[in-house]
Structure 1
Amino acid sequence: MRFIHVKNRRMFDGLFNLLANNIDVILFFSIVYVKLISYEKSISSGYMDKSVIFPIAASILILISFSFLFKEKNRTSFLYIVDIVLSAILVADLMYYRYFKDITTVAAIRNAKLLQGVSSSVGSVASAKDLYYFLDLFILLPLGRIYKKRRKNSKPLPKRILSFLIIFALGIGINAGVFYRVSKEQPTLLTAMSNRIYLTNMIGNIDFHLVDSYNYINNAVKNSKDLPEERVKDIKAFLQKNNSSTEESNFKGIGEGKNLIVIQVEALQGFVINQKVNGQEITPNLNKWVNKCMYFDNYYYQVAGGNTSDAELMSNNSLYPAQSGAAYYTYSGNKYDSLAAALKDKNYYTAALHGNSEGFWNRNVMYKAQSFDDFFGEHSFNVDEKIGLGLSDKSFLNQSLEKMKNFKQPYYSFLVTLTSHFPYEAVDKYGDFNVGEYEGTFIGKYLKAIHYTDAQLGKFLDNLEKDGIMQNSIIALYGDHFAIPKDNAQQLFKFENESSSDDYTWFKYQKVPLLLHFPNDEYAGVNHRYTCQMDLYPTLANMYNLPKNYMFGKDMLNGNSQKVIFRNGSFIDGQNLYVSWSNTYYDLKSGTKVNETEKLKKEKDEYTKELQYSDDLQNHNLISEFSQKK
């Protein structure tokens, strides 16, 4: 009996010593696990794959395994430093998600210098709740010092290596099983990463960043080599089929010899059109012009990490945004078969105009790459009124009009506005637009900002008409991207009296207006067809009788395509909406969920392949190769 008691006592002492000697490891695992789960809930939008607990635990075990290579005192310091780094990454990821609705990638970090000037935007998505991720660091610092002082013994190196190998193997083994499951359920997800939020919800934050880093390095190595000839042939065949003329010839050549004026409006989201607040029209000027234009009310933005620059890329080239980061930076050395280049071949003068610094989003390089004759940036204007990031829309549009009057005709003018830029705080002192109960709220600030920009656009369009410029011009005006980020979705839903807040409801509002104006207000009316930014260039190409060679979009006024593919893998096919991050289908009319069919699965696979084709085309500068072989 005494022997059993002694044996139990030794077992208890052994277990106690094991726990006491590894309290730093246990605390690290527990704290980091809670942080990672909290992060997953923040980006899950109501959907979180519960099996993510396994890769999260596995990734923490892998990090812990390396700590066993250190002596115990240094091990505690190592874990503390890793905790700091992970906390900083999680907070940065949350801020990035709130602004871009996406997950931070290596390519996005490389492009961080392009975000100069939007520190107020980044700051505005920071939250006091984010301090939660750092609270433990202040508590653990003094405890860690006490713990290290009391530690006297240190395991010999062979035992530490054995501990490292066992824990590392356990973590790798769990992850291998998870990755195998993901690769079976979504065959291209780990490599194409077309749906980063969904992927993160399946494998966790740490594993996502490891996969992203691996893919970034792997792609850099692969892209330094030539694509297999079969792959190049597949891409060429796809483009030839996609750009073949439709049987119809609506609006064919209607714009030949006419000026083209394209206006990309900062953060002009569709829900403000013909909408009121506190009894006042939010966009009274655009509402007037909607009735004088061909108005597309189901026109979707498709931007990714490049935001405004992505909208420019798609509208002028009909190429998808970069898989990660900004194409305006990553592919600035490529050859482009752009709208400006095609019009230059028809003796058009081409100019881009924007009231921000020339280097912002690498525009000074990219406009040259797209064959614009001139770029009128901040230094080409008299900066007599600055609001927010740069020259006010009022001054920019007035000065742009004076410049355009002196352009050699026919010309293509591409104008990008600025004042209604997130976070919409810069125009409070300009105008007295009363937003009623929304005063001081995020959406209230946006309504004021876009009301200001609407007034300037109204004056600009009225002056184009008054000066007779419209008589010989076709005008396209559209919004570049969302105005209300996902973390403020509830304010938008409340404003729109939406009782539901599911993904289908969210997508209903991810539209931007597209207005096409023809001389004498011809062809005015509403077009309900599902279209997107990728479709603008093919449509204009038909109007101006331009060649179509390397476009991924379709003509909005010919054919019957209603395809809208988003960079994250979501898509619309005219009847259904696929939400990639929850792997869910919705009926577009009713909003009810539908089961995946063979037809829908085939569409999903085809659209994923289309995104990969666009990536390959840009990664390997294939337009240059194709054009040389003509």
Structure 2
Amino acid sequence: MNINSNQLKNFLISGLDILFFLILVTLKLTLFDKSISPEHFNYKLVIKPIIYSAICLIGISLIFKNKGRTRFLYITNIIISLILIADTVYFRYFKDVISVGVLRNGVMLGGVKSSVTDLIKAQDFLYLLDILIFIPLLMLYKKYNISPKISIYKRLASFIIIFTIGAVWDGLSIYKMSLDQPRLITTMYNRVYISKFLGDINFHVLDLYNVTSNKIASLKTISPQKEKEIKTYLSKNSSNTTSNMKNIGKGKNLIMIQVEALQQFVINAKINDQEITPNLNRWIKKSLYFDNFFYQVASGNTSDAEFLTNNSLYPAASGAVYYMYAGNTYSSLAKEMNDKNYYTSVLHGYSEGFWNRNVMYKAEKFDDFWGEKSYNLDETVGLGLSDKSFLNQSLVKMQKFKQPFYSFLITLSSHFPYDDTKGYDSDLNVDPIEDTLTGDYLNGIHYTDAQLGMFLDNLEKSGMLDNSIVILYGDHYAIPKDKTNELYNFEGIKNPTDLNWFQLQKVPMLIHFPKDDYKGINHSYTGQIDIYPTIANMFNLPQKYMLGHDLFNTKNETVMFRNGSFTDGTTFYVSWTNTYYDIKTGNIVPETAQLRNLKDKTLVNLEYSDDILNHNLIKKFENKK
């Protein structure tokens, strides 16, 4: 009896490392999933795949001897904790979890240290707390663990049995989700959805698998049938039956301004009876304004906005196009403008290598990139050269450009965390939200608004606007996901839904014509991918390889997002909850055959865009002419 008791005792002691690992990792992963889905979270959905993925790791640990097994589980726990911290910080800003593609972009983090340090919170490191607490317990465990030695054959058998059980159960969970969300696993278009329904370990394993398989697939040649299918689709997508505003830009300059973190909710809004964006409000009245215009960026953020508007293709499924596909051939706006004998340039007062711009702009055939080294850094706001100095110096440069020209300007000062514009031409009283992120943002965008107003006024005074079409738009959201309650409170939204969130993701977009022609408001639902086709129509450019639509010649088109969500102006589909909302009533509505077709069309568009990038299809199409 004593022998049996000792054996049981030793058995229980020898398995404590496994038990602790299973409990702690399951708890951490569950808490993380709760943190990224505060409005829609179901423990029952995620707990099983989380446990199954942990069992797979436990199975791997059984290959090692007792102390080696404990060491493996301890180190694995540390790695998982660090990944959860990184994913938590990344989610606060990007509303997404880190993928392998994002890690390829890691070099860019050096330029936004202030943003990263502002996003990290002390509670994030609670994921590491157990590691510190269990160090002395681990030492005692190693000392008193007197488990008998197990042969390599038994360890391998244990590994195969336990790992197989965990993998089969885990695989069934993944398969079940793939039935509910077809193409989600292969396209990874909604990483948050995967993580919160399968757990973060499963997400990262699937992400690694997809990146590896996509890399292998990109090395293979795409079938001639698929190539023809995509080319035919592009041809049909670009064909117009009408010609409103056709060639209206002939001989005119094109000035396109991408404004950092400019969201629509500030337009025509007031705080303490003061206009937040008085200058943009004034210029909107002189322009054609699109009030249902959405950003469509993914993890490439600002660079994705540039890519969308200059190429009319979707961002990469993982990572940023500017890093991953800078060696591709593009039928970009700059390239086609060059073919019309336009001088093309980018003007941006920040580091030339940031977002790999110095490489990507060459691929897009811009004649020149006027970056940080081309400016006198006489005033710094936020990350770099102030918008005031940047726009003033840019105007001087543009006045010397050979006409007609296409100039693409990118502002900087209103970059997160928006805490460096006070005292710079900003007299906005933001009480009672002083010292909040939203309050800082209102001050930051108020400052940028003043500089944009001055720049546009100076363009008008110089006479340049008499022969120029100006397009101005916001690049992406301003308020991160973890501060949505501040935004909801500012907007007076109670009991918010995902529809409320999406409706707040609109950004301003205006087109100003000479002599204030065509001014008014267009209520069509549109997105950044539609800008290039619209310009192509106005300047009579080829429209061969575009997934967007000319805003003057199409109606009732769908705005599609990289995560698989979409809207047709009547209904909004939110992919991460697989829910349809009626825009007018805000009510959830059932899926119809028409909505299902739009959902499938969205995934087809994303798939074709990925194929174009992965296989450099534009180069192939051009070579086959």
Q: Which range, TM-score by smaller chain?
A: over 0.9
Question: Which aligned pairs between 1:144-293 and structure 2 lie closer than 5 A?
Answer: 144-157=138-151, 158-245=153-240, 247-293=241-287
Aligned match of 1:37: 30
Structure 2-normalised TM-score? Answer: 0.98
- Paired letter, 1:29: L
Cα deviation, 1:373-432, whole Å, max 9, x if unaligned, reads 111000001111112211110000000000000111111010000000011112134234
Structure 2 distance, partners of 1:187, 1:13, is: 53
Q: Quick one: which of 129, 132, 136 aligns to 1:135?
A: 129
Which stretch has the larger CA shift, 26-35 or 44-53?
A: 44-53
Aligned match of 2:594: 599
Contact 1:115 1:361 in 2 (8 A): no
Aligned match of 2:603: 608
Cα deviation, 1:170-212, whole Å, max 9, x if unaligned, reads 1011112112212222221111111111122221110111111
Aligned match of 2:105: 111
Q: CA deviation at 1:13?
A: 5.6
Q: CA deviation at 1:14?
A: 4.9
In the alignment, does 2:591 pair up with 1:585?
A: no
Q: Quick one: which of 40, 46, 49 aligns to 1:47?
A: 40
Q: Quick one: which of 404, 408, 424 aligns to 2:402?
A: 408
Structure 2 distance, partners of 1:110, 1:499, is: 39
Q: For structure 1, which runs of at least 5 residues remain unmatched after alignment?
A: 1-5
Question: Which aligned pairs between 1:52-91 and structure 2 lie closer than 5 A?
Answer: 52-91=46-85
Q: CA deviation at 1:10?
A: 7.3
Q: Quick one: which of 470, 478, 482 aligns to 1:483?
A: 478
Structure 2 distance, partners of 1:14, 1:608, is: 57
Structure 2 distance, partners of 1:419, 1:277, is: 21
Q: Quick one: which of 511, 535, 540 aligns to 1:540?
A: 535
Structure 2 distance, partners of 1:153, 1:54, is: 30
Aligned match of 1:376: 370
SS in 2 for 1:436: coil
SS in 2 for 1:437: coil
Cα deviation, 1:557-596, whole Å, max 9, x if unaligned, reads 1121331110011111121100010010001211110111
Structure 2 distance, partners of 1:16, 1:606, is: 60
Aligned match of 1:306: 300
Cα deviation, 1:529-550, whole Å, max 9, x if unaligned, reads 1000000000111111111000
In the alignment, does 2:18 pair up with 1:17?
A: no
Contact 2:13 2:145 in 1 (8 A): no
Contact 2:10 2:146 in 1 (8 A): no
In the alignment, does 2:549 pair up with 1:551?
A: no
Structure 2 distance, partners of 1:45, 1:228, is: 43
Q: Quick one: which of 358, 361, 382 aligns to 1:364?
A: 358
Structure 2 distance, partners of 1:498, 1:98, is: 21
Question: Which aligned pairs between 1:420-499 and structure 2 lie closer than 5 A?
Answer: 420-430=414-424, 431-499=426-494
Structure 2 distance, partners of 1:137, 1:342, is: 57
Contact 1:300 1:533 in 2 (8 A): yes
Contact 1:493 1:499 in 2 (8 A): yes
SS in 1 for 2:330: coil
SS in 2 for 1:285: helix
Contact 1:294 1:525 in 2 (8 A): yes
Structure 1 distance, partners of 2:496, 2:380, is: 38
Q: CA deviation at 1:494?
A: 0.2
Structure 2 distance, partners of 1:536, 1:10, is: 79
- Paired letter, 2:413: T
- Paired letter, 1:192: T
Contact 1:116 1:360 in 2 (8 A): no
Q: CA deviation at 1:528?
A: 0.8
In the alignment, does 2:482 pair up with 1:500?
A: no
- Paired letter, 1:30: I
Q: Quick one: which of 599, 615, 618 aligns to 1:623?
A: 618
Q: For structure 2, which runs of at least 5 residues remain unmatched after alignment?
A: none
Q: CA deviation at 1:16?
A: 3.9
Structure 1 distance, partners of 2:11, 2:142, is: 16
Contact 2:524 2:555 in 1 (8 A): no
Structure 2 distance, partners of 1:522, 1:12, is: 91
Cα deviation, 1:309-350, whole Å, max 9, x if unaligned, reads 000001011010001101011110011111111111111111
Aligned match of 1:3: none
SS in 2 for 1:582: coil
- Paired letter, 2:150: P
Cα deviation, 1:239-294, whole Å, max 9, x if unaligned, reads 0110112x221111111100000000000000000001122111111011111011
Cα deviation, 1:30-80, whole Å, max 9, x if unaligned, reads 011000000110112421343221110011011111222222122222211
Structure 1 distance, partners of 2:294, 2:136, is: 53
Q: CA RMSD in A?
A: 1.3
Structure 1 distance, partners of 2:471, 2:373, is: 26
Q: CA deviation at 1:627?
A: 1.1
SS in 2 for 1:97: helix
Which stretch has the larger CA shift, 44-53 or 300-309?
A: 44-53
Equivalent pairs, count: 622
SS in 2 for 1:603: helix
Q: CA deviation at 1:127?
A: 1.5
Structure 2 distance, partners of 1:319, 1:511, is: 19
Cα deviation, 1:435-482, whole Å, max 9, x if unaligned, reads 111110010010110000000000000001111111000000000000
Identity %: 55
Q: CA deviation at 1:154?
A: 3.2
Contact 1:446 1:483 in 2 (8 A): yes
Aligned match of 2:382: 388
Structure 1 distance, partners of 2:4, 2:168, is: 29
Aligned match of 1:568: 563
Contact 2:14 2:146 in 1 (8 A): no
Aligned match of 1:98: 92
Which stretch has the larger CA shift, 553-562 or 352-361?
A: 553-562
Structure 2 distance, partners of 1:321, 1:559, is: 23
Contact 1:554 1:561 in 2 (8 A): no
SS in 2 for 1:585: strand
- Paired letter, 1:336: Y
Aligned match of 2:19: 26
In the alignment, does 2:112 pair up with 1:123?
A: no
Structure 1 distance, partners of 2:481, 2:150, is: 52
Q: CA deviation at 1:221?
A: 0.7
Contact 1:71 1:154 in 2 (8 A): no
Aligned match of 1:418: 412
SS in 2 for 1:478: strand
